[in-house]
Structure 1
């Protein structure tokens, strides 16, 4: 279904109908030589480079969770539920919205892409026009 349309500063790529990505589902999109994990987490659509910046492990296998957040001494507060993806090899956690790591947000990050639900389609915005796009279903029992 992919079709590319040049916008003012980006290339708009229609990937697939939105009903093909239900909550909890993921798809692997190959744009030329780059793999992008597209996922629906609680009706929020995210697109991330499918490569952990640490050792290149596929992030599409990562679990989605939250983490302990800043709180008062002797209090433990869990937050950011379903906003973090964890590297399946070493457990590095990244914010799905910003790509920043939890442990070193100003030094290590995961590349994120602008992805949206528009007119009942999932649309990816890219800086350059792709030559080849492949969308693959991905079966994983993570959130």
Structure 2
């Protein structure tokens, strides 16, 4: 799979598992794994960028802030956003992405499919 050193905090790595591959993400020391496939139109989801979630906050200029930095992946084709931990999307919840259990043993990231 991959070693912990290969995926430092804030980084990711796509590994060749299955038809499209699996993206492994390190968000502040916690690892997540998702299918590299966007259910919207089949885009390479893991080629997108990770961001936080934008929420309304009338107390700041512009009226919005970003929370949960790095916990969401956005498809590079149409910017559909998915939560890395659960695979859910606010756009069309029935089109959530597949996530995989991840554990770390002896410095190795192990994804269970």
Do these two structures clear the TM 0.5 threshold for a shared fold by scoring above it?
yes
What range describes the TM-score normalised by the shorter chain of this pair? 0.7 to 0.9
Q: Displacement, 1:22?
A: 1.6
Structure 1-normalised TM-score?
0.66
Q: Could you say which structure has the larger radius of gyration?
A: 1
Q: Displacement, 1:77?
A: 4.2
Q: 5+ residue gaps in structure 2? A: none
Q: Displacement, 1:35?
A: 1.1
Does 1:125 pair with 2:108?
no
Higher relative contact order (CA 8 A, sep 6+): 1
Q: Displacement, 1:81?
A: 1.9
Aligned equivalents of 1:62 and 1:31: distance in 2?
18
Residue 83 of structure 1 contacts residue 96 of structure 1 at CA under 8 Å; is this kept in 2? yes
Match of 1:79 in 2: 67
Does 1:103 pair with 2:91?
yes
Superposition CA RMSD, Å:
2.2
Pairs within 5 Å for 1:1-143: 15-69=1-55, 76-104=64-92, 106-126=93-113
Structure 2-normalised TM-score?
0.81
